[in-house]
Amino acid sequence: MSSTRPSPIAPTVDFDRDGVQHGFLRLPYSRDDSAWGSVMIPICVIRNGKGPAALLSGGNHGDEYEGPLALYDLARTLDPKQVSGTVIIVPAMNYPAFRAGTRTSPIDKGNMNRSFPGRPDGTVTEKIADYFQRELLPRADIVFDFHSGGKTLDFVPFCAAHTLPDKALEQKAFDAVAAFAAPFSMRMIEIDAVGMYDTAAEEMGKVFVSTELGGGGTSRAQTVRIARHGILNVLRHAGIVAGAVERGKTQWLDMPSGDCFSFAEDDGMIETMVDLGEPVEDGAVLARIHSTGRTGVAPQEIRAKMSGMLAARHFPGLVKAGDCAAVVAVHV
Ligand code: CA
């Protein structure tokens, strides 16, 4: 719900001041171990005069690390003399979740990317969403939100934007995706876009770009390099950081329909039959789910509903009914 009630979050940075500021979004959170305590969400503002503004975030889900690794690094190293305009960096958006190493907040179980537009009088997660919705998004021209697969999914490294009804906005987003120059670039669809930060930004007419860079609840040397290289490229492309975009080879992928997604229908032990990045034929077995309760039971087969490439897979060895088991994407 939008509201006229002010956000309880107090920033310790001034968004209109030139230079580098390292501070916090201070969110009052009274609790057993701190009566007048707060959640201190790190934020960095790097500004050099008038110009476009970029809003960069990681840790929207707390168990995804390429974004935070790239953004704490960028906040420490970006020289304001190289900047024209403003870069706002929130490396760990759902900070309580990030501290706990979990997808959702340990305080309220809030999934940040299902909490938009948030509420100023809601849960801790909803208050953070509301602050982004009403205070940070309106300041931005381009919005970049890092994701990876977290503890339960793993992806081929891609940068992504959504197909949108506003084709001019869609093109600007895909141009930024191309500038990021990940090994793969995705025209992405969502299983359910309600409550997503992506949707909030796009409905405000902002250029919104995201990633899925790996997963498994950790990061890899290659995926962190992609994140660091890519975000500087996007800032150069936006005219906010000086220098030419360092183009690399990228392969464009499409998710043409909900048939990309395959879900487990039984609990069990998952056997991946195709590895990430490998080609798949329509009807091919992507994974088998083995019943573990007794011997002698044939595994459930999960089959591709289209030809393409395996873009994502369930990560842990055990799977539950309803888990996303595999995602197939199509080469453009
Ligand atoms: Ca995510």
- pTM for the model stands at 0.97
* 294 Cα: distance to centroid of ligand 1 (angstroms): 35
Q: What is the pLDDT of residue 189?
A: 87
Does 249 share its domain with 265?
A: no
The domain total for the chain is 2
Q: 294: domain CATH number?
A: 2.40.50.100
Does 282 share its domain with 164?
A: no
Average pLDDT, the chain: 97
Q: What is the pLDDT of residue 197?
A: 98
Q: 53-57 and 318-319 as β-strands: parallel, antiparallel, unpaired?
A: unpaired
Does 186 share its domain with 295?
A: no
Q: What is the pLDDT of residue 193?
A: 87
* 60 Cα: distance to centroid of ligand 1 (angstroms): 7
In angstroms, the CA 92 to CA 71 distance is 9
Question: Which whole number is the average pLDDT over 247-258?
Answer: 94
* 309 Cα: distance to centroid of ligand 1 (angstroms): 20
Question: Which whole number is the average pLDDT over 180-185?
Answer: 98
Does 96 share its domain with 191?
A: yes
Q: 175: domain CATH number?
A: 3.40.630.10
In angstroms, the CA 169 to CA 159 distance is 17
* 150 Cα: distance to centroid of ligand 1 (angstroms): 6
Q: What is the pLDDT of residue 3?
A: 53
Q: Which of 199, 219, 254 is the last residue of a domain?
A: 254
Question: Which whole number is the average pLDDT over 318-332?
Answer: 97
* 59 Cα: distance to centroid of ligand 1 (angstroms): 8
Burial class (CB in 10 A: 0-12, 13-18, 19+), 249: exposed
Q: What is the pLDDT of residue 190?
A: 87
* 175 Cα: distance to centroid of ligand 1 (angstroms): 22
In angstroms, the CA 143 to CA 244 distance is 20
Range of the structural domain that residue 178 is part of: 2-254
Does 249 share its domain with 268?
A: no
Q: Treating both helix axes as pointing N-terminal to C-terminal, what angle do 66-77 and 221-237 enclose, rounded to 10 degrees?
A: 50
* 63 Cα: distance to centroid of ligand 1 (angstroms): 8
* 214 Cα: distance to centroid of ligand 1 (angstroms): 10
* 202 Cα: distance to centroid of ligand 1 (angstroms): 18
Does 225 share its domain with 311?
A: no
Confidence band for 71, pLDDT divided at 50, 70 and 90: very high
Q: Treating both helix axes as pointing N-terminal to C-terminal, what angle do 167-180 and 221-237 enclose, rounded to 10 degrees?
A: 130
- What share of the chain in percent tops pLDDT 70? 99
Question: Which whole number is the average pLDDT over 255-267?
Answer: 95
Does 223 share its domain with 181?
A: yes
Q: Which of 210, 225, 254 is the last residue of a domain?
A: 254
> pLDDT (tens digit, 9 = 90+) per residue, 115-163?
999 999 999 999 999 999 999 999 999 999 999 999 999 999 999 999 9
Does 236 share its domain with 297?
A: no
* 327 Cα: distance to centroid of ligand 1 (angstroms): 14
Is the Cα dihedral 192, 194, 199, 203 positive or negative? positive
Question: Which whole number is the average pLDDT over 302-326?
Answer: 98
| DSSP strands (E only) in the chain | 10-11, 19-28, 38-48, 53-57, 85-90, 142-145, 153-155, 158-162, 184-188, 207-212, 251-254, 261-263, 268-272, 279-280, 285-290, 300-303, 308-314, 318-319, 324-331
Q: Which of 233, 254, 275 is the last residue of a domain?
A: 254
Does 162 share its domain with 49?
A: yes
Q: What is the pLDDT of residue 104?
A: 98
Does 250 share its domain with 277?
A: no
Q: What is the pLDDT of residue 116?
A: 98
Contacts of 171 (CB under 8 A, 6+ apart): none
